[in-house]
Amino acid sequence: MAFGTNIRTWFQGTWHQGDVMVMRAADHGIWQGSSVFDGARWFDGMAPDLDKHCARVNRSAEAMMITPTMDPDTMAALAREGLAGYGPGAAVYVRPMYWAINGSELGIAPAPNSTGFALCLEEVPMPAAEFSTTVTRTRFRRPVLESSVCNAKAGALYPNNARMLVEAQHKGFGNALCADVMGNLAESATANVFLVKDGEVFTPVANGTFLAGITRARHIANLRADGVTVHETVLTFADVETADEVFLSGNFAKVTAVRQFDDVHYPAPGPMTKRVRALYWDWARTEAARH
């Protein structure tokens, strides 16, 4: 099922209109789960950090033992070529993907230099600035590198996130906040998390159990440049309960205000959340003008 509409897919050297089929029944990626992807965004005529997303999908492929076949600069140029087919007001999700085609002798490990690649563009609206969500705890936790490929944006990791999200939705919430294996706050089911307390910003320290996102890093840099103190540190659910504001950070929406965590309510969007969003859009426009 497609994520968005008005889909364009680059596969095997050319652009195709629509959601084309790219895998075969015996591809390693479909029956052994050896697939990785990344997601960038095109909106308001801008594609912030597109180069970083293209570079990260190659790092994810290597972590998944898949041989990358596309130079990140070439990949970014290809994405911009495809985006030229959309209207000036379109918001598009940009998804480069790799998967292994063949397996090793025993079939389990991906075979080197046997890689599928596709780049999928889907028109998906950006959530409105005033959009907010609710979050709750989940019993499911983030894995560690010794048990999962946590250093890749791998499709195989997402069933665990789906369990978190479905559990939260069954409880009447929009998203879930999950813990790492130590029981400390890690992220939400779909994005990184930030807390605001007494005018300062806090986010879980990157400890290898979750992807410390590209947009997360951009928010930290923007806030610090604007004079805000940002702490990357160990946090607990008690810290969430006593926060003045909570917001999520991810590529899809960039900033999402949280209005409720279990029985605790917050202003949404709060003043710092509005500031983070304004800083991001100002930075993105400045970067777009430079290039």
pLDDT of residue 245: 98
Residue 273 and residue 247 in contact, taking contact as beta carbons nearer than 8 Å: yes
The model's pTM is: 0.95
CATH topology of domain 132-288: D-amino Acid Aminotransferase; Chain A, domain 2 (3.20.10)
Q: Is 60 helix (H, G, I), strand (E, B) or coil?
A: helix
pLDDT tens digit string along 60-83? 999 999 999 999 999 999 999 999
**Phi-psi label, residue 28: left if phi above 0, alpha if psi -120 to 50, beta otherwise:** alpha
Under-70 pLDDT residues of the chain: 1-2
Domain 5-123 of CATH type 3.30.470.10: yes
pLDDT of residue 211: 94
Burial of 245 (0-12, 13-18, 19+ CB in 10 A): buried
pLDDT of residue 148: 95
Burial of 250 (0-12, 13-18, 19+ CB in 10 A): buried
- Exposure string of 74-110, with b = 16+ CB inside 10 Å and e = fewer, is ebbebbeebbeeeeeebbbbbbbbbbbbebeeeeeeb
Other Cβ atoms less than 10 A from the Cβ of 182: the count is 13
pLDDT of residue 106: 84
Helix, strand, coil share of the chain (percent; to 5):
30, 30, 40
Task: Indicate the domain borders of the chain.
Answer: 5-123, 132-288
The DSSP call for residue 94 is E
Contact partners, residue 250, CB within 8 Å, separation at least 6: 190, 191, 192, 213, 215, 256
Distance between CA 2 and CA 67 in Å, rounded? 26
Structure-block tokens of residue 13: 């050297």
What backbone phi and psi angles, to 5 degrees, belong to 159? Answer: -60, -35
